[in-house]
Amino acid sequence: MKRALVPLLIITLLLPFASFATAECPSEGHTVVLKAPAVSRTADGQLIGVATDFVITVAPGTGHVYVETWPLAEVDMQASARLAAQIAGKVLGVNMSKYDVFIQIKADSPIIGGPSAGGTMTVGIIAALEGWKVNPKVMMTGMINPDGTIGPVGGILEKASAAHDVGAQLFLIPQGQRIQYVQETQKKEIGGIVEINTQTKKVDVVDYAKERWGLTVIEIRDIYDAVYYFTGHRIPRPEAPAYVKIDTSFLKDDALKDYDNTTAYYQSTLERLKKSDVNYATYTTLLEALNEAKAILNQSKQSLDDGMYYTTMSKDFQARIIIRHVNWYLGVKSEEDVQRILRTAGSEINASEKRVSNITIRGTTMLQAIAAAEERVEQAKGLLDEAWKYYYNGDYWDAIGKAAYAYERAKTAVFWASLGERFATGDVIGKDVVKTTARDYIDESNLIVTYIESMYGTVGGDLSQSIQQAEQYYEDGKYSAALFTAMEARVRAQVFLDTLGIDNQTVLKDKLAGMKEGAKVAIALAQNKGITPVLAIAYYEFAESYEKSAEENGSMEDLQTAMIFYQYARETANLFLSKPSQTTIQTNTTATDIPQIVIPTPSPAETSTSTPTSPERIPETAIILIAVGSFLVGAAIGKKL
């Protein structure tokens, strides 16, 4: 009896590890092997290119993605691998919950991994799902975006070198990244004094790689291009309508009413200031603030006349923050008055939160609008917390300014909730959908931010803080706020990568054109699915207003802001639209032959150097402070409704 119990005991002890054994050694499915370039950091801090091996197996399973790296990568690849599996399923119309994906990554030295291998992993998963061979002479770099486009990466030149070193003949890079800007440092000693000069040099990767190594470099825009070059199989892209109309006419009545109300508020506050008994310094400061609000209202009127209704309301919103700041300040005679103002803002936020949280969501259009509303409620709470901190520090002026901003932000939450109700249609959607999407965006955004900081330090700004804020929102159960905050960080990170080192406006305008087209296509595809992506349409128009401003004044800041809002429009258009569509595969080779490298002559439309890349904190440009005497006043320039 005891002998019989021994094998049983052993089986019992090993049973918990059975799933791990299965994960490591799938007995069925398809496996593909690809090489991908990465970067590694030397002991003296220099970045060098290294080749990595990807062994990708897809087998029947339950939707898991297993990743093993050796040696350990500096950036976790799990989120990028998970996104790659999702996109592969979406492209092929395959339910990935019925498959497990196994990815082994091997390199000769520790690599800065992460998002730059996203495109390669997606190609490998697609090839494994279909049982296709991949050409070992083809390599690529580029992150994979939720809509299947190939996003920008760093270290292009180093990776091209690594591709050449392992015998690649064709190297694929993200569209718009053939021109790289590198820093060259020259030392010259004159009379014992060492003079160091650093210059920025433009390098055409296509020409450089061909001349130095005989390596062909091609820009690609999406996973459909990548799969073709690797396998010879052509997967048809989702088709957008030939004519796409994007306008915010659904906001016309709101914009007309909003402009009239804000103008009336300005006039009444101006009259109140003139009748007040404040001293000269205070009067001058407050009048200058109202003049700034008036200038913004003039911009609002121009936008209204141009039929840019969301931009009109955003300008009104900026102006109202200033006007309310002045109006509330005029009513302050004591510390208790400041407390009363902050409590008024708190009451407005509580009412907005109650209004938004009690809505039953029906349909994807409404879901997007309500998600935006919930995010704005959380922003308002944060602003009010800042207002109370200023109050307790005795800074009543800034306390009132933050409270005014919080009050107006809470009102915009109610606006988006009401807008969502106008488009309510379809089945009820639970918040678990937002929770799942938020988790994905946080993980993916964190991956990109970590990747940037691993290669370039903290030059990307406060992106890590945005990720931390998104995590906090998620832990607090504020999934919409978490989603949008992570999305903001993702967009800013990608625009940073896509414009790194570029100060040439012609190049930036080309990239802007690509981003604009990408946003337009995303909106059109959403509309094809019966969705009215109101948020994306609104941001698209707002981006147009900054694009126009950049053309008029040559502002690089306005140009970058336009880029970010176009990218934000594209990301929001794709939100919650994850259902795969069935596709018909067009093949140029048989599944048993290694595909030949085919380099077709691109059409003029495909030779653009722009990059339709994805996916805040969107640069809601900081308040402009006007200092007169001991007072400061804020003008919220660039903030969105």
Amino acid at 121: M
Handedness of CA 298, 405, 359, 350 (dihedral sign): negative
376-390: burial string, b at 16+ Cβ within 10 Å, e else: bbbbbbebbebbbeb
Instruction: Output the pLDDT for position 598.
Output: 58
Helices 431-456 and 463-475, axial angle in degrees (round to 10): 150
Among 99-108, 452-461, 535-544, 559-568, which stretch is predicted with the lowest mean pLDDT? Answer: 452-461
Two tokens at 99? 């498959």
- 105, 52 in Cβ contact below 8 A? yes
More confident residue, 304 or 582: 304
User: How many whole angstroms separate alpha carbon 396 and alpha carbon 148?
Assistant: 50
Two tokens at 354? 């109650």
- 227, 211 in Cβ contact below 8 A? no
- 35, 94 in Cβ contact below 8 A? no
> Could you tell me how far CA 19 lies from the centroid of its own chain?
35
Give CA separation, 388 vs 337, 385, 392, 550, 584, in Å.
13, 5, 6, 37, 59
- 404, 321 in Cβ contact below 8 A? yes
User: One of 35, 133, 137, 159 is an active-site residue; which one?
Assistant: 159
Instruction: Output the pLDDT for position 310.
Output: 97
Asked if the model's pLDDT at residue 384 lies above 90, the reply is yes
Give CA separation, 319 vs 47, 303, 411, 638, in Å.
47, 14, 14, 11
Q: How confident is the model at residue 419 (pLDDT cuts 50, 70, 90)?
A: very high
Instruction: Output the pLDDT for position 100.
Output: 96
Instruction: Output the pLDDT for position 76.
Output: 72
Instruction: Output the pLDDT for position 425.
Output: 87
Strongest mean pLDDT among 398-407, 451-460, 504-513, 616-625: 398-407
Helix/strand/coil for 57:
strand
More confident residue, 502 or 140: 140
Instruction: Output the pLDDT for position 444.
Output: 86
Region 529-554: mean pLDDT is: 92
- 520, 476 in Cβ contact below 8 A? no
Half-sphere exposure of 115 (CA within 13 A, CB side): 32
Among 58-62, 412-416, 417-421, 634-638, which stretch is predicted with the lowest mean pLDDT? Answer: 634-638
Instruction: Output the pLDDT for position 520.
Output: 93
Asked if the model's pLDDT at residue 620 lies above 60, the reply is no
Among 199-208, 210-219, 339-348, which stretch is predicted with the lowest mean pLDDT? Answer: 199-208
HEC letters along 156-223: HHHHHHHHHHCCCCEEEEECCCCEEEEEEEEEEEECCEEEEEEEEEEEEHHHHHHHHHCCEEEEECEH
More confident residue, 502 or 268: 268
Across the chain, mean pLDDT equals 84
User: One of 40, 80, 116, 466 is an active-site residue; which one?
Assistant: 116
Predicted confidence (pLDDT) per residue in 61-105, tens digit: 999 999 998 876 667 788 889 989 999 999 999 999 999 999 999
Predicted confidence (pLDDT) per residue in 128-177, tens digit: 999 999 999 999 999 998 888 898 888 899 999 999 999 999 999 998 89
- 373, 417 in Cβ contact below 8 A? yes
For 591, the enclosing helix (H) or strand (E) is none
- 539, 638 in Cβ contact below 8 A? no
Amino acid at 50: V
Write phi, then psi, for 528 (nearest 5 degrees): -60, -30
Q: What is the DSSP letter of 62?
A: S
User: How many whole angstroms separate alpha carbon 44 and alpha carbon 406?
Assistant: 48
Q: How many CB atoms lie within 10 A of CB 491?
A: 29
Predicted confidence (pLDDT) per residue in 421-431, tens digit: 999 988 888 88
Instruction: Output the pLDDT for position 74.
Output: 67
Asked if the model's pLDDT at residue 18 lies above 50, the reply is no
User: How many whole angstroms separate alpha carbon 507 and alpha carbon 500?
Assistant: 12
Q: Which residues pair with 588 in a beta bridge?
A: none
* Residue whose tokens read 């880029």: 563
Q: Of 374, 560, 556, nearest to 478 (Cα)?
A: 374
Percent of the chain with pLDDT over 90: 56
Two tokens at 489? 């960080």
Instruction: Output the pLDDT for position 493.
Output: 87
Asked if the model's pLDDT at residue 580 lies above 90, the reply is no
Q: Of 438, 404, 392, nearest to 331 (Cα)?
A: 404
* Residue whose tokens read 């809509």: 147
**How many distinct helices (H) and strands (E) make up the chain?**
19, 15
Q: How confident is the model at residue 180 (pLDDT cuts 50, 70, 90)?
A: confident
Helix/strand/coil for 259:
helix
Instruction: Output the pLDDT for position 172.
Output: 97
Asked if the model's pLDDT at residue 233 lies above 90, the reply is yes
What does the radius of gyration of the chain's CA atoms come to, in whole angstroms?
A: 27
Instruction: Output the pLDDT for position 259.
Output: 98
Asked if the model's pLDDT at residue 7 lies above 70, the reply is no
- 440, 87 in Cβ contact below 8 A? no
Half-sphere exposure of 541 (CA within 13 A, CB side): 26
Asked if the model's pLDDT at residue 215 lies above 80, the reply is yes
Handedness of CA 147, 153, 156, 160 (dihedral sign): negative
Two tokens at 316? 């009104």
User: How many whole angstroms separate alpha carbon 255 and alpha carbon 259?
Assistant: 6
159 noted as active-site residue? yes
Q: Of 531, 437, 413, 522, nearest to 487 (Cα)?
A: 437
Q: What is the DSSP letter of 32?
A: E
Instruction: Output the pLDDT for position 190.
Output: 66
Q: Of 373, 403, 397, 398, nearest to 385 (Cα)?
A: 403
Instruction: Output the pLDDT for position 339.
Output: 97
Instruction: Output the pLDDT for position 56.
Output: 96
Among 232-246, 364-378, 386-400, which stretch is predicted with the lowest mean pLDDT? Answer: 232-246
516 noted as active-site residue? no
